[in-house]
Structures are given as structure tokens and as C-alpha cells.
Amino acid sequence: MKRRTFLAATAAVGLSSQSTWAQATKATKPLRILILGGTRFIGLHMAEYALSRGHSLTFFNRGRTKTDRLPQIERILGDRNGQLEGLATGSWDAVIDNSGYVPRHVTLTGELLKARANRYLFISSISAYASLATPNDERSPVGKLADPSTETVDGATYGPLKAACETAAERSFGAARTIVLRPGLIVGPEDNTDRFTYWPARAARGGDMLAPGQPTDPIQVIDARDLAAFAVLALEQQLAGTFNIVSASGQFNMGQLIQASITAASKLAKPAQPAKPIWRSAEFLEKQNVAPWSDMPVWVPPVGDGAGFAATSTDRARRAGLTIRSLEVTARDTLAWHLQRPLKEQQELKAGLSAERETTVLNAKT
């Protein structure tokens, strides 16, 4: 692939209206950062924050996703699946790998760049842990692949593949130059999964709103902008090692998420009838075939295999400077972003219950 550069006339062109970084102070030392996959969701937030700190950026991707965003950033076109010619030259202070899902891809970029970049930051996931039945910290065992050669990314392999990618990054760059971030559910404006978005979007419709489990059921999320700020901080401070990146255990619960969504909706969408949560137990929802996480996004009942899911330790990241914004701010900004999406995207969310299904469940005998 040929290297293609797109330089914009002004540094401000393409910054999203959701940018909250206008007031960011400049870093003491500007860094040259290569982002592998920068044009979707978390990459956009990382890029905007890094720019606001005075860093210079290069994106490496195939040129398919959101090609109109951040046009002032240099682009190198290629494919992680072996088309890396565009990365044959150039040097960077740091690489942020947002788009690594199989270890072969991470090894390809790790080996190619280890002599021309100082640090490799790999975005992994808390799904890397072997079990979510008990709370995890960074020393907990990670999952292992039944077939180490598989490159099929699905519900069973996603986590162990991420763990194998972490190892691949460390093998190339060495532990002292590798940062592994393990985010929990990433939320906020630009989220293409619609999981957190479902709640403020649902509250915006108003009326009786199905709410899962108990208001006290714990949740953990990370606003993509807080993840972005920590990633850039980790590079600026030349951190190394593994960090869980999510809100603190016990910080947020489902009742607070629902309330933050209703508050955001009352300000931004002003439904004729404000949304009113109707709480239904995990047992009732199971009987109605309402699935945690996909039908009732963000929520995982805190029992059995999921007992530790929303209790991940973040002590290490918090000591290193991770900050978490409030659910009110995330819900408000997510709804503001959602309400300006194309109508089709607003109406066809990828997660949560349809209005019809929700009504059926609400009308079912308890």
C-alpha cells in the first residue's frame, strides 16, 4: 500500500461537536503517536484528546470506516492482515493498537515497529480474564484458547485471543515498553454498539420503561473519553504493565444509570410522559427470555458466572491517574450525540429491546 497523507488547512477541522478537550493543557513533550485503527469510537476520542495535548498523530487503517473524520491527521493505508508496506518507514514515540483481535496481527506490527517506536499500548479487554465469577485484578489468570491457532473471533474466543495479543505485544516490545489496558464496557458518544446508548435513548421515549434486576445491582463502565485520557497519560508518563480501565467497583449501579438516563432525557428530549422505571427481577426476565447484556444492556446479574463481572479492581489505574466522569455526564453526552444521528440509526439500535417486545414483557404476569 502506498502511503497517503491528508493534511488539513486548519487544526480544528473535523473535530467532533462532542469534543470536551478544548481546555486541555499541552503536554510538556509532544509525542508522535501512531494509532492502529483510529477512525472509530475509542480511536476518535483518543485522537481528539492527543491532539488537544499537542501530540502529532498518524492513523493506520484500511480507509473504510468514517473516512471523513479528523481529516487533518496523516493516514497510512493498509491492512493488519499482512498489508503493512505503508509502515515500512517512519518512526514514532508510541503506537496505540486499538484494532488488534488476533495475535498474528499484533506480532506483525510489533516486530515491524519495535525498532522504530518506543512504546506499544495495546487495548485489550477485561474479557481476557479466565473467569468473571469472582472479582479480577491484573494478576488474575487470563483465558486460554482451546485451539491456539484459531483466528475466529467469537463469544468464546474473543477474550483468550485478546490475552494472546497482549503476550504478542510484550514479546515484541518487551515488558518495560508495553502498556496493556483492559477496559470494561466502553461507553459514551460515538459508541457503535448501542449498548449504553439504549438507556438514555429509551428514557427519551418516556412512559413505562422496563428496568432489570435490582436498582442496587452493580455496573462498571468506562466513558471512552476517560479511557482516551488515561491512554495518553500512560504514554506521556511512559508507564508499563497492565491496567484494568473501568469505573471503580461499587461506584455505579443500575438504578443510577436509569436515573441518569431519565434526567438526561428530561433535559434533552422532554418526552410527553417522563420515563418511569418498572423493575423486574432477574428470575422474571429469564422466564420471559429477556437476556442480560444484549436485551438489557450493561446489566449482568451479580450471581453465578457473572458474580465478579462488575467488581473488577481498578486500584492500579486509579493510583496511576485514571479519572472517571459521572454517569450523568456520560448519559447526557451520549443522548445529545444519539439525537443527532441519522434517524435510521436512532430507530434501529443494535442492543436492547424493541418497543413492542418491551410492552409484551411489561404486560406479562409477574
Question: Which residue, 300 or 361, is less far from ligand NAP as judged by CB?
Answer: 300
CB closest to ligand NAP, residue no: 37
- Residue 62 engages ligand NAP in binding (rule: CB under 6 A): yes
The distance of closest approach from Cβ of residue 311 to ligand NAP in the complex, given in angstroms and rounded to an integer, is 17
Binding mask 162-191 for ligand NAP (x = CB under 6 A): ---------------------x-xx-----
Are 50 and 70 within 8 A, CB to CB?
Answer: no
Helices 224-236 and 41-52, axial angle in degrees (round to 10): 50
Candidates 20, 56, 74, 79; binder of ligand NAP (CB under 6 A) is: 79
Read off the amino acid at residue 107: T
- Residue 334 engages ligand NAP in binding (rule: CB under 6 A): no
Question: Which residue, 1 or 278, is less far from ligand NAP as judged by CB?
Answer: 1
Candidates 18, 33, 34, 41; binder of ligand NAP (CB under 6 A) is: 41
CA gap 112, 36 in Å, rounded: 13
Question: What's 124's DSSP letter?
Answer: -
CA gap 59, 38 in Å, rounded: 6
The distance of closest approach from Cβ of residue 298 to ligand NAP in the complex, given in angstroms and rounded to an integer, is 10
The distance of closest approach from Cβ of residue 215 to ligand NAP in the complex, given in angstroms and rounded to an integer, is 23
Torsion of CA 123, 129, 132, 133, to 10 degrees: -160
Question: What's 195's DSSP letter?
Answer: T
- Residue 136 engages ligand NAP in binding (rule: CB under 6 A): no
Strands (E), 275-366: 276-280
The distance of closest approach from Cβ of residue 63 to ligand NAP in the complex, given in angstroms and rounded to an integer, is 5
Candidates 18, 52, 99, 330; binder of ligand NAP (CB under 6 A) is: 99
Question: Which residue, 123 or 264, is less far from ligand NAP as judged by CB?
Answer: 123
The distance of closest approach from Cβ of residue 43 to ligand NAP in the complex, given in angstroms and rounded to an integer, is 5
Question: Which residue, 61 or 261, is less far from ligand NAP as judged by CB?
Answer: 61
Question: Which residue, 43 or 352, is less far from ligand NAP as judged by CB?
Answer: 43
Direct distance between the N- and C-terminal alpha carbons of the chain, in angstroms, rounded to an integer? 60
Question: Which residue, 38 or 103, is less far from ligand NAP as judged by CB?
Answer: 38
- Residue 160 engages ligand NAP in binding (rule: CB under 6 A): no
CA dist 42 → 133, 202, 226, 279, 322 (Å): 27, 23, 10, 32, 16
CA gap 138, 185 in Å, rounded: 17
CA gap 214, 217 in Å, rounded: 5
> Total residues contacting ligand NAP (rule CB under 6 A)?
23
Q: Contact region for ligand NAP (CB under 6 A) — 49-57, 78-86, 139-147, 197-205?
A: 78-86
Residue 39: which residues within 8 A CB-CB, separation 6 or more? 59, 61, 65, 66, 67, 69, 70
Instruction: Give the strand pairing for 3-4 and 74-77.
Output: antiparallel
Residues 219-258 contacting ligand NAP, CB under 6 A: none
- Residue 69 engages ligand NAP in binding (rule: CB under 6 A): no
Read off the amino acid at residue 49: Y
Q: Contact region for ligand NAP (CB under 6 A) — 62-70, 113-121, 253-261, 295-303?
A: 62-70
Are 310 and 249 within 8 A, CB to CB?
Answer: yes
Q: Cell for 4?
A: 497517503
Q: Give residues in contact with ligand NAP (CB under 6 A).
A: 37-43, 61-65, 79-81, 98-99, 123, 125, 183, 185-186, 193
